[in-house]
Amino acid sequence: MILISVKDYNQFSQDYYESIINSLQFHQLTCTCGHSSCLSVHGYYTRGIILPDGKHFLRICRVKCSECGKTHALLLTSIVPYDRISLSDQHTIVCAFENGTDKYAVCEDNPSLDESNVRSVIRRYCLYWLQRLLAEKISLSAIPSLIRECLAAYSMQFMQIHRTEAVLFVCTT
């Protein structure tokens, strides 16, 4: 999987996604096998994201490496792989949990989330990420550095639980 760095972690429209993907220089993308200039569009799939006004679907681009044959989804860093809850909502929940504040307050900002979603995020954080962050001394403070440090240490996006290797691509605009 290839994560495309974005600055706006609350932007989830098909137009925004396509504008980011269309602005990419595909020859600059690097596969998880280490090769670059080897990725081409392979197909698309639909991905749901839980937003305040309900579930939205994005058409996600997949690319294929001509060197190793692997396919990769092109996801924005605002999306947690294999999860429907956005990175910013999960970050808000985890920070509230760690600070001892109201972890259910996120449900007021995103009424599509309920208490079971919040409990699920906290359970996954405690099971998969709490010790990883402590082991690498990774801070929850800023999302961009959290993403970079989790990818550097574990080749995974923060809160990703499926062990699929991910690489970060920072757009040079």
CB 75 within 8 A of CB 60: yes
Pairing mode, strands 39-51 and 54-65:
antiparallel
Residue linked to tokens 């990175």? 87
Distance CA 44, CA 154 (A): 26
Of all helices (H) and strands (E), which one includes residue 30?
none
Q: Tell me, what's the pLDDT at 6?
A: 86
Q: Tell me, what's the pLDDT at 28?
A: 84
Q: Tell me, what's the pLDDT at 92?
A: 95
Beta strand spans in 38-133 (E)? 39-51, 54-65, 71-76
Q: Tell me, what's the pLDDT at 7?
A: 85
The low-confidence residues of the chain, meaning pLDDT below 70, are 171-173
Pairing mode, strands 2-4 and 39-51:
unpaired
Closest CA to 75 of 86, 91, 66: 86
Cα separation values, 20 from 47, 52, 65, 89, 149, Å: 16, 22, 20, 21, 23
Q: Tell me, what's the pLDDT at 66?
A: 93
Q: Tell me, what's the pLDDT at 172?
A: 54
CB 64 within 8 A of CB 71: yes
Q: Tell me, what's the pLDDT at 135?
A: 96
* pLDDT tens sequence across 36-79: 888 999 999 999 999 998 999 999 999 999 999 999 999 999 99
